[in-house]
Structure 1
């Protein structure tokens, strides 16, 4: 499913959550939606799901999503818990409800995931632990097989082994059933290997949209003799530095020119990639103490 957003603005009274945002998602990719708390991630996903009338344009495959029942049936938005489910409902009822609303729903897969995450079908939603409620949301999102599936911090309540089981299930199912998947997360490094393209938003604005591998190539860790590292990084954007004795490691932002690569070899410096999370922190760093 292709997603086109033009001039999107979302306001809550005097607060502007999304400010004149425009971008397109070509589809059949796993997108990472990254932003600090309060950056507008949830408001953006709600607009993409047609939960509110947009100021601007939100189109899915060329058609507006708001008040378009056919389009909304092809979209699934899951927040950090299965918050659409009544606490008194049994898990089996919640899954039946998902099947009733989604033409693309795969019930066999939903039952398989429920077993994987150890969610009892006869258990009431209110009796589930936080991690199980998060897992139930993931079950709904993946089993929906919706052409546009959005997971808004849906994995946060899970423990580490369960999160890793979720990541494996997500990648395996995406490979078999490609679709447009958007994931918002603060656990950037855990998910970074899954992300094909990244959108970073800050203070309601789009900071960048980039293929994940291209974004990673913008940062380099420079390691070697401290004085040589200082010479090499002079004039570059240095994100951070660490020293141990005479050895120093500096993370720099920005593509290196051929002559800089030659100079690094001459100085005996080691060059390596830096984490996507470190680039995210740099790109959303407050300027002059203000956001």
Structure 2
């Protein structure tokens, strides 16, 4: 089972601050989505409304065609994993697991125990006594083992060290393939986790900047490498994302898709065309001068 998400003219205000600004988008079920944005872009605000943690100022959110706010039957099919553990500091970790087991209809106990061992989750400790890394390990374990049809990870793994984060990415992808569902991952670690995303949503100041398939978005950036004069001539008048030079060789990164004719001209000029990282494109699309 997977759940779709549809957002129509969604706005969320905190007094004088507009966190989400007339946002409209649709996420079909059964995909892994990357939600990208700078600090304060509205990512957590949007996800909080989708997960029914708060009510919007105006507009509509539909999950599988129904409004999630105060909809117990629907919210039981959703799991919102935040950057902190949703439990009292005095609760023991084993108590948190017992509660999740009782409340999550798709909970997989065998998988949960395997994750506990893989991430070394300290079951007997109290939540308040956990390190930041242990809290992140607990959060992602709860999110994965819940196997909710709509699962949202809001930078909940940032406290983990690099080997543990990569183990989480492996678990996320492998379990998604074995148990398809809709997964939204909000992140700053774009280069680390970008290969997981089937589609990318980019927000900036509460507004939609881009929503495309990951490979389509990547194709909008091209690294042009070759003799400096030929590179300069080919990239003249284009949007430049970056530039490097070593002796007589130059590599310039441009933004904008190339036509087949332009690619042919580049080859005739002895130029190599290469892909651009998702993070470079994100930085360009959310740059201060573009705001």
CA contact (8 A) 1:81 1:136 kept: no
Specify the alignment match of 1:20 in structure 2: 22
Distance in 2 between residues matched to 1:123 and 1:172, nearest whole Å: 29
Distance in 1 between residues matched to 2:61 and 2:280, nearest whole Å: 31
Distance in 2 between residues matched to 1:212 and 1:259, nearest whole Å: 24
Distance in 1 between residues matched to 2:267 and 2:65, nearest whole Å: 51
1:135 aligns with 2:132: no
1:75 aligns with 2:81: no
Distance in 2 between residues matched to 1:151 and 1:247, nearest whole Å: 43
Gaps of 5+ in 1: none
Specify the alignment match of 1:270 in structure 2: 272
Q: CA deviation at 1:265?
A: 0.8
CA contact (8 A) 2:122 2:134 kept: no
Between 24-33 and 125-134, the greater mean CA deviation after superposition: 125-134
The one-character-per-residue Cα deviations of 1:212-259 (angstroms, maximum 9, x if unpaired) are 011111111011111110001012111110111111111111110122
Q: CA deviation at 1:127?
A: 2.0
Between 50-59 and 181-190, the greater mean CA deviation after superposition: 50-59
Distance in 2 between residues matched to 1:4 and 1:257, nearest whole Å: 33
TM-score normalized by the length of structure 1: 0.97
Specify the alignment match of 1:29 in structure 2: 31
Specify the alignment match of 1:175 in structure 2: 177
Specify the alignment match of 2:94 in structure 1: 92
SS of match in other structure, 1:224: strand
The one-character-per-residue Cα deviations of 1:9-51 (angstroms, maximum 9, x if unpaired) are 0111111000010111111100000000000000000000011
Between 236-245 and 119-128, the greater mean CA deviation after superposition: 119-128
SS of match in other structure, 2:289: coil
Alignment of 1:91-240 (within 5 A): 91-240=93-242
> How many matched pairs?
288
1:57 aligns with 2:63: no
Q: Which runs of 4+ in 1 moved over 6 A?
A: none
Over the residues paired in the alignment, what is the CA RMSD in angstroms? 1.0
Gaps of 5+ in 2: none
TM-score normalized by the length of structure 2: 0.97
